Amino acid sequence: FPDSANRDEIILTDGGNRMTESMRRIKIFDTTLRDGEQSPGCSMNLGEKLEMAAQLEELGADVIEAGFAVSSPEDFESVRQIADVLQKTTVASLARATKSDIDTAFDAVQKAKKPRIHVFLASSDIHLQHKLHMTREEMLRQTGEMVRYAKTLVEDIEFSAEDASRTDWEFLVKVYETAIANGANVINVPDTVGYVTPQEMYDLIAYLKENVKGIEKAEISVHCHDDLGMAVANSLAAVRAGATQVECTVNGIGERAGNASLEEIVMALRTRQSYYQAAAGVDTTKIYKTCKKLSAITGVPIGPTKAIVGANAFAHEAGIHQHGVLNDRLTYEIMTPESIGISHNTMVLGKHSGRHAFEEKLKSLGYALSSEALSEAFSAFKKLADLKKNVTDLDLEALLSGAAKMK
């Protein structure tokens, strides 16, 4: 385990990513305000979207997909206003591969410092036959015409082959070649229905890199859904195979089971930097605040065991773990709470806690007990912990009433 030997790399407490010359820079394309907002219960009003967009810019997202401008007047207005205020971040609007969608997307993003139009058209036979009623040849023609048209409006054009992961690979090569030849500078590979495995995603990206003519002129992007719980793993496998843009959402919100979660991708890249030889440009110390803000705005809570930002992500209850962490954090922590913007880890006192953590807790509350008094207090605490899920500071104060406090 070369990483765990490298203490400095793991115990980073600031928000910096240590890029070296040999590392690839991975761009974070945040689609919380577009794909994420399509999640039931996650719709946001204009003011909330502006607040989130500002937070995402502060976090350091490279691209913010601000909405799907043609989908409603409200969506148009939020893309337009976000495009107006953001200073550093590329602002994208989604558009189907039609002139009217592309025109509306252009109207919405044109004032952005860095505007992007994100054109998409499905490429799998199942979508072509049962949704678009189109042949493969017609799909290729429309891709070429619409990417070329979008390119007359803005320089930065992303093209997504919707349902790419269920598309015949030879046909997919032709689709991306057509998009690149007509001006797409980013080609996105969506796993629209969260179907593939990490190995399959790795193989697909490697195949496209090998076979798509002109691919060296374009950025390879990946967009994974979480229907089988593999969105983050699939995105990271794509990075290993050569993708340099990852599309994701804060807290993993999105259609059905959601999208790949931004905080998990960024922290995986950071914690396993040597393995991926890649880094995102996000200030990781802003992650916790960003995730909490989205949860407060949408009212959708973050589950306690959610990776990175769940309430238990940096909490230790088992005695053996508490003892280990109190001696050396590396025993049971692979990243620091400080690195995501939390001031400290927590020792939860419960029935699994040990004497060491109990004593530390009492010290933090100001109690200095003799060894004998400590033993007595510890056995009283264990009895109480058997009756209660969590023992709070107030419970401890009650348990110790009368005991001497440190000056």
Interacting residues toward ligand KIV by CB under 6 A? 35, 94, 120, 160, 162, 188, 190, 192, 223, 225
Size of the site for Zn ion (CB under 5 A): 1
Looking at residue 71, the DSSP 8-state letter turns out to be G
For residue 297, give Cα distances in angstroms to 42, 53, 332.
9, 12, 32
259 labeled binding residue: yes
Beta bridge mates, 249:
261
Instruction: Write down how long the chain is.
Output: 407
Residue 167's binding partner out of ligand KIV, Zn ion, none, with CB under 5 to 8 Å set by partner kind: none
CB of 194 to ligand KIV, least distance (A): 9
Stretch that binds Zn ion, among 6-14, 35-43, 93-101, 112-120 (CB under 5 A): 35-43
Residue 333's binding partner out of Zn ion, ligand KIV, none, with CB under 5 to 8 Å set by partner kind: none
CB of 202 to ligand KIV, least distance (A): 19
Cα-flanking dihedrals φ and ψ of residue 266, to 5°? -65, -45
Beta bridge mates, 301:
none
Stretch that binds Zn ion, among 27-35, 47-55, 145-153, 368-376 (CB under 5 A): 27-35
CB of 255 to Zn ion, least distance (A): 6
How many angstroms separate the CA atoms of 304 and 307, rounded?
9
Q: Nearer Cβ to ligand KIV, position 34 or 351?
A: 34
Whose tokens are 């004497």? That residue is 355
- The two three-digit tokens of residue 26, written as one number: 């991975």
Whose tokens are 């001696």? That residue is 327
Q: Nearer Cβ to Zn ion, position 193 or 280?
A: 193
| Type of residue at 5 | A
Residue 89's binding partner out of Zn ion, ligand KIV, none, with CB under 5 to 8 Å set by partner kind: none
Tell me how far the alpha carbon of residue 400 is from its chain's centroid.
44
Whose tokens are 């993003």? That residue is 109
390 labeled binding residue: no
225 labeled binding residue: yes
Q: Nearer Cβ to ligand KIV, position 78 or 249?
A: 249
CB of 172 to Zn ion, least distance (A): 17
CA within 13 Å, CB half, 85: 18
Query: Hey, is 18 helix, strand or coil?
Result: coil
Of the residues 15, 26, 32, 35, which one makes contact with Zn ion according to CB under 5 A? 35
CB of 367 to ligand KIV, least distance (A): 55
Structural contact between residues 314 and 333, judged by C-beta atoms closer than 8 angstroms: yes
Q: Nearer Cβ to ligand KIV, position 94 or 294?
A: 94
Measured CA angle at 207 (ends 202, 210), to 5 deg: 125
How many angstroms separate the CA atoms of 43 and 37, rounded?
5
223 labeled binding residue: yes
What is the 3-state secondary structure of 80-135? HHHHHHCCCCEEEEEEECCHHHHHHHHHHHCCCCCEEEEEEEECCHHHHHHHHCCC
CB of 44 to ligand KIV, least distance (A): 17
Q: Nearer Cβ to ligand KIV, position 115 or 190?
A: 190
How many angstroms separate the CA atoms of 184 and 109, rounded?
17
CB of 270 to ligand KIV, least distance (A): 25
Query: Hey, is 151 helix, strand or coil?
Result: helix
Residue 162's binding partner out of Zn ion, ligand KIV, none, with CB under 5 to 8 Å set by partner kind: ligand KIV
Q: Nearer Cβ to ligand KIV, position 120 or 202?
A: 120
Q: Nearer Cβ to Zn ion, position 35 or 156?
A: 35
CB of 35 to ligand KIV, least distance (A): 5
158 binds Zn ion (CB under 5 A): no
Residue 75's binding partner out of ligand KIV, Zn ion, none, with CB under 5 to 8 Å set by partner kind: none
Q: Nearer Cβ to ligand KIV, position 94 or 325?
A: 94
For residue 306, give Cα distances in angstroms to 132, 262, 301, 328.
37, 13, 10, 24
Residues in the annotated binding site for Mn(2+): 35, 223, 225, 259
* Contacts to Zn ion by CB under 5 A: 35
Residues in the annotated binding site: 35, 223, 225, 259
